[in-house]
Amino acid sequence: MHRRIDGWHSPNLNKNMEIVEYGHYGPALLLLPTAAADYLEYERFQLIDAISKYINEGKVKVYSINSINNESWLNSKISGRDKVIRHNQFNQYIYEEVVPYIKGRTSEGTPIITSGASFGALHSANLFFKNPWAISGCIAMSGLYDLGAYTKSYWDEDCYWNSPLHYIKDLSAGHLHQIRLSPYIKVMTGSGNYEDPNGSRYISGTLSSLGIDHRLDIWGHDIDHDWPTWRKMLPYVLETQF
């Protein structure tokens, strides 16, 4: 499998940020790490191995980047306002730096689909819903789509506009139209230990109320909030829906 590590000093984040690329062809799948993990997390936990067939077949070309959650919502030393500012800087890093980088490594017409598990699911959904012109869809696994689950009671307008469960209904008609064009909206969860399928049900209900076509998959009580689950879910989506 082709594997290439790259990186640059991000002007939006004012720090060095790495990115890893797997494969040569196909729609771009951009992986957002869980919690405070790094760009190689999905490789360490064998999720890249689990989808290697689809990478090698050119069904997807995969990219993975660093999280900065430990500098925002997981940082207990800064204020809530500073946390959401850092969150927004991360969004701009994706739109202004990562998206053009991927387009340069693929083509202007290549769709970019975000994906992630747990906190990465919230980021993947949020990045798509906020800017469906830059991101073409999302595969969100085991997520909660209410940012309030992470803010420790801090809330302001910027939190609202990074909390998909809250803001989707307030998007403009043109914005919602662009979201509706996506064939790549997948919401998945288990029902086992540490999973909260209601988070997926709530976001699915919101999407359905707005006429947004999507796929909701709720797996059984033997499916826990852990890596074996995500190593099953992502290959399943790539096999059955790509």
Tell me the C-alpha distance between 154 and 116, whole Å.
24
pLDDT band at residue 119 under the 50/70/90 scheme: very high
pLDDT at 207 over 90: yes
pLDDT at 29 over 90: yes
Q: What is the pLDDT of residue 230?
A: 98
Give percent above pLDDT 90 in the chain. 98
pLDDT at 36 over 90: no
* Torsion on CA atoms 75, 76, 79, 85, rounded to nearest 10: 10
pLDDT band at residue 242 under the 50/70/90 scheme: confident
- For the chain, the C-alpha Rg in angstroms (whole number) is 17
Q: Counting runs of H as helices and runs of E as strands, what totals does the chain give?
A: 11, 8
Q: What is the pLDDT of residue 241?
A: 81
pLDDT band at residue 42 under the 50/70/90 scheme: very high
Domain spanning 3-241: CATH superfamily: Alpha/Beta hydrolase fold, catalytic domain (3.40.50.1820)
Inter-CA distances, 33 with 25, 89, 168, 176, 220, Å? 22, 16, 23, 27, 24
Tens of pLDDT, residue by residue over 78-114, are: 999 999 999 999 999 999 999 999 999 999 999 999 9
Tell me the C-alpha distance between 240 and 242, whole Å.
6
pTM above 0.85, yes or no: yes
pLDDT at 226 over 90: yes
Give how far the C-alpha of residue 66 lies from the chain's centroid of Cα atoms, to the nearest Å.
12
Tens of pLDDT, residue by residue over 135-194, are: 999 999 999 999 999 999 999 999 999 999 999 999 999 999 999 999 999 999 999 999
